[in-house]
Structure 1
Amino acid sequence: MENIRGMALMTLSMLAFAITDSWIKIASETLPTGEILMFMGMGGVAVFSVIAMRRGDKLLTKDILNRSILLRALGEMVGTFGMVSALALIPFSTTAAITQAIPLVITMWAALFLGETVGWPRWTAIGSGFVGVLLIIRPGVGSFDPNTIFAIIAVLGLSVRDLATRTAPRMITTPVLSIYGFSVLIPMGLGLWLYSGEGNAPDPREAAYLIGIVGMAALGYATITMAMRMGDVGVIAPLRYAKIVFAMIIGIVVFGEKLDTMTLIGTAIVIISGLFTVYREHRIRKLA
């Protein structure tokens, strides 16, 4: 029963994150990237501050200048900028497909910088996943869109954020880590907004989307946290890839996108590689 609940919560979380991304894309049609980032930062800080205070967490500690905390904040800033920019500039389903490579990149970073043992099966999966990404973006051919670099930036930044989370001081709770991460989006977003010289205060429709983005992201965060605390991680974690299914449906229905064969093949390779990596990591933990 715990596994079933965990699977349901993980699926709900992925749906929430897919909807969040779709609302970011819609908002980006009339709002500049910097403005969206700034309001995301403000909303994220507000939501997680309430959560942290209700838990009795200490918001400011000397560990705020810890190297892992600073690296995590940098990853959050770079990754979120890349994600919002990609959602604004390239097809929704393409962004979702490329960012499915994040778990593979995290495994690679862990092997290179944390000294974690990664055997040839997982290295093969990582390499295969990167081939899948190349099939999606197709550099050097006529259909290549240089704006896909923003999705790659998102993958690199968000994978650094998640890796730094592993090495962050244990006494700093997840809500407080989230506050630190979202807080750096505020000055960066404001700076980009002022530099662009575009945009005004959000109108009621735009404000509704911005509020919805923060609220839906908070729902995704809450449900994924609950899911990972239930049942068998090896059973629940693979459902992270449900997001690509939701994203492709949204891309087709909401944005009228058409998925070509190479994108579907590349996406399948990335997903299979990621699922194999999850399976191997789970098996290694059980044998340890």
Structure 2
Amino acid sequence: MQQNSEANARGIILMVLSMGAFAMADTLIKLVSGEVAPAQIMFLMMAGGSVMFCLMAKAQGARLIDRRAIAPVFLVRYLAEVVAMVGMVMALAHVPLSAVGAIIQATPLLVALGAVLFLGEKVSWRRWSTIVLGFAGVLLIVQPGAEGFDALALWAVFSMVGLSVRDLTTRMTPPDMASASLAAYSAVAALPFAMAWILLDGDNFLPPEADWVMLISIILLGSLGYLLLTASIRATSISVVSPFRYARLVFMLILGVLVFDERPGLPVLAGASLIVFSGLYMMWRERVLKQSG
């Protein structure tokens, strides 16, 4: 019993640290977006991520060459990763950090919807209600049709869709494939798109006047966040650590206020509350059903 408690505590701490690393990386991306083009940011993140994840895979003794990596489900996952990255970088460049953080937290709800539509999972009316309530929170933040509607906020929704498809297809990948190898394949697959995006924009691959300390920090923080996330999931049950993914939203709200002097309005706070409540309730119901089953 004590071992389980210690494992749970370790997993929770690792998850919170992971979300903190991701939130800091998001903040730095927003800070450098005024000097570095979104395409350049994506290229540097994918290039740096490719190196970092390949090193992680080798350190874990995982395979880096696997024919299964070109199966259709992987190709869909790679495309979803590109969509998620483009949406995230563009959103961080143009949308308040707090709003981006709130919108992407609806990803688990969209994954649940996708599991119903494409994987044939059956859900109760309670789960349908939480999904609808969560998306109502997204609508509160984006406010389509309102006088102050900012179409750029749709980039965050775009990213949320990409993240959801990526997470959904991850369920269909071979369980024996190492997480670091899977991340390395995704980063390498996204590199050609990032390079094409830079060429179409007419930019340099390496921004001449960029703050390289910040850019390298983005790569390291993103890789560290991934490493801590993986360690957290392996430390204990996913049902224990998953609710603490919402720590990323808390960190982004705080960093938005401290770094960018953001003042989230009532719609953003209300929408974020609905999203978090819906996600936590859905996780709690799943845990109850597993215990009763």
| Residue identity opposite 1:251 in structure 2 | G
Q: Identify the residue that residue 34 of structure 1 maps to in structure 2.
A: 39
Aligned to 1:266: 271
Amino acid in the other structure paired with 2:253: M
Correspondences of 1:193-272 after superposition (within 5 Å): 193-198=198-203, 201-203=206-208, 206-272=211-277
From the superposition, tell whether residues 77 and 200 of structure 1 become closer, same or farther in structure 2 (CA, over 3 Å).
closer
Deviating 4+ runs (over 6 angstroms):
none
CA distance in 1, matches of 2:157, 2:99: 11
Distance, in Å, in 2 between the alignment partners of 1:200 and 1:62 is 30
* Contact kept in structure 2, 1:94 and 1:136, CA below 8 Å: yes
Aligned equivalents of 1:208, 1:236: Cα separation in 2? 32
Distance 1:58 1:229 in 2: 19
Conservation of the 8 A alpha-carbon contact between 1:122 and 1:277? yes
For residues 120-140 of structure 1, the C-alpha deviation after alignment (integer angstroms, 9 at most, x for no partner) is 111100000000000001111
Task: Describe how 1:138-217 pairs up with structure 2 within 5 A.
Answer: 138-198=143-203, 201-203=206-208, 206-217=211-222
Deviation at 1:180, TM superposition (A): 1.2
Alignment of 1:37-76 (within 5 A): 37-76=42-81
- Contact 1:40 1:185 (C-alpha < 8 Å) held by counterparts: no
For 1:49 and 1:232, the matched residues in 2 are separated by 26
Which letter does structure 2 place at the counterpart of 1:226? A
Post-superposition shift, 1:200? 6.4
Single out whichever of 152-161 and 275-284 deviates more from structure 2.
275-284
Structure 1 unaligned residues grouped into runs of 5+: none
Counterpart amino acid of residue 9 in structure 1: L
Distance in 1 (CA, whole Å) between partners of 2:213 and 2:189 is 23
| TM-score (norm: length of structure 2) | 0.94
Q: CA deviation at 1:209?
A: 1.7
Aligned equivalent of 2:100, options 71, 95, 107: 95
Q: How far apart are 1:199 and its partner, in Å?
A: 5.2
Shift of 1:103: 0.5
Distance 1:29 1:95 in 2: 17
Output the amino acid matched with 1:10.
Answer: M
The 8 Å contact of residues 198 and 205 in structure 2, kept in 1 or not, is answered as no
Aligned partner of 2:10 among 5, 14, 24: 5
Aligned length: 288
Post-superposition offset of 1:159:
0.6
Instruction: Provide the residue aligned with 2:3 in structure 1.
Output: none
Indicate if the aligned counterparts of 1:80 and 1:154 stay in contact, CA closer than 8 A. yes
Supply the distance in 1 between the matched residues of 2:189 and 2:217 (Cα, whole angstroms).
21
Task: Specify whether residues 54 and 204 from structure 1 end up closer, same or farther in structure 2 by C-alpha distance, changes over 3 A only.
Answer: farther
TM-score under structure 1 length normalisation: 0.96
Separation in 2 of the partners of 1:150 and 1:210?
22
Shift of 1:51: 1.1
Distance 1:20 1:71, change over 3 A: same
Structure 2 residue ranges without an equivalent (≥5): 1-5
Shift of 1:223: 1.2
Give me the identity figure in percent.
Answer: 38
User: Structure 1 residues 48-57 or 84-93, which shifts more?
Assistant: 48-57
For structure 1, which segment, 199-208 or 47-56, has the greater mean C-alpha deviation from structure 2 after superposition? 199-208
